[in-house]
Amino acid sequence: MDYIKLKEEFKTPFYLYDFDLIKSRFLELKSAFKARKSQIFYAMKANSNLSLLQMLARLDSGFDCVSIGEVKRALRVGAKPYKIIFSGVGKSEEELEQALKFDILYINLESEEEMLLLESVAKRLELKARISIRVNPNVDAKTHPYISTGLNENKFGVELDVARKMYLYAAKSEFLEPVGVHFHIGSQLLDISPIHEAALIVAKLLRELKALKIELKFFDVGGGLGVGYEGEEEPCLYDYAQGILENLSGLDVTIGLEPGRFLVAQSGMLVCSVLYEKITPKKRFMVVDAAMNDLIRPSLYNAYHEIVLPYTKGELSSCDVVGGICESGDFFAKDRRLAKSKSGDIVLIKEAGAYGFTMSSNYNTRPRICELALENGIIKMVRKREKFEDLIALEEEFLKDS
């Protein structure tokens, strides 16, 4: 890859995604579940670029959405409504109404209150709402506390007893149709045994409901498959699939999968340039033209991203790689051993395809950067770099004439 040429054409910083790698990982995951009916619902919160979504839709991917805006993105790229599910713990009445009008596959419910709100909306619209209920199996995902979602102390889902009560209510309702069950215990899981433990617990609930004549069609195991940010061994997809399948013996259900990070994290990198180096009595700082508004994961989670200077040689020494934002938390790495750089040197921040651009912001009035994609050996722009005028467009009309 000629990063110098890319810098000349597009300027830094920018995101670069390998669409071919995403396709490969998608097909690999799909193949692991070929023994049973399954459907991948890509968790678009990881990366919602329209060109990426369109590519996945053409691979027959469904979409897991956590806002009505994400639902609209999926529809915009040609996704079929029956391949879209709507999740999230805080859906508004307006969002539920729009989701019902779009006639998506189902809505994941996360509380009794949300169920009653959806029922009232469906009644007003004279529609029947297809639902799934997110069960919180109280399983420790053994991951970062910010991305753990399967314990009773987390805000997501409902306990088993509450789920049973909700299914019984929904089955009797004129305006609710229970079609699935869902769980998602956390993200960046390298140990898949907690997923299998959760599958066992939720499959037992499924059998109990079947005995009560409540026949569900979808068994959604969520996402959360981890990737090797620091060279960790990734989960074996065959073992992952088998551990789920063995819990579903005798159940005629379609398995739902919600990969996000697993598909896109390793496909992407943040390409930036060194502005200059700053040396203090205690520290060497490598200051780059990207910042925490472009990639917040190191600041938010203290997340590790490999950093490479592809054209810079020399003795390695410890430094902090930082951006220009007025926050001490604006860093990409601390005490990382890298060669001494000079102004203009290219820096690659790797494994940045997930939760990079989607979590970016305009903090410090910094325009969001452009996105590029590599597909079939060709690099194309898939999102333009913002301009200052884009940032003020929604405010300018309120300025008073001087």
Residues designated catalytic? 326
27's CB contacts (< 8 A; 6+ apart) are 59
Q: Which amino acid is at 235?
A: P
3-state secondary structure the chain: CCHHHHHHHHCCCEEEEEHHHHHHHHHHHHHHCCCCCEEEEEECCCCCCHHHHHHHHCCCCEEEECCHHHHHHHHHCCCCHHHEEECCCCCCHHHHHHHHHHCCCEEEECCHHHHHHHHHHHHHHCCCEEEEEEECCCCCCCCCHHHECCCCCCCCCECHHHHHHHHHHHHHCCCEEEEEEECCCECCECCCHHHHHHHHHHHHHHHHHHHCCCCCCEEECCCCECCCCCCCCCCCHHHHHHHHHCCCCCCCCEEEECCCHHHHHHHEEEEEEEEEEEECCCCEEEEECCCCCCCCHHHHHCCCCCEECCCCCCCEEEEEEECCCCCCCCEEEEEEEEECCCCCCEEEECCCCCCCHHHCCCHHHCCCCEEEEEECCEEEEEECCCCHHHHHCCCHHHCCCC
78 known ligand binder = no
304 known ligand binder = no
Q: Residue 130: which of 103, 112, 148 has the closest Cα?
A: 103
261 known ligand binder = yes
327 known ligand binder = yes
353 known ligand binder = no
256 known ligand binder = no
Q: How many other CB atoms are found less than 10 A from the CB of residue 117? A: 16
113 known ligand binder = no
351 known ligand binder = no
355 known ligand binder = yes
Binding site feature residues for pyridoxal 5'-phosphate: 224, 258-261, 355
Annotated binding site for substrate: 261, 297, 301, 327, 355
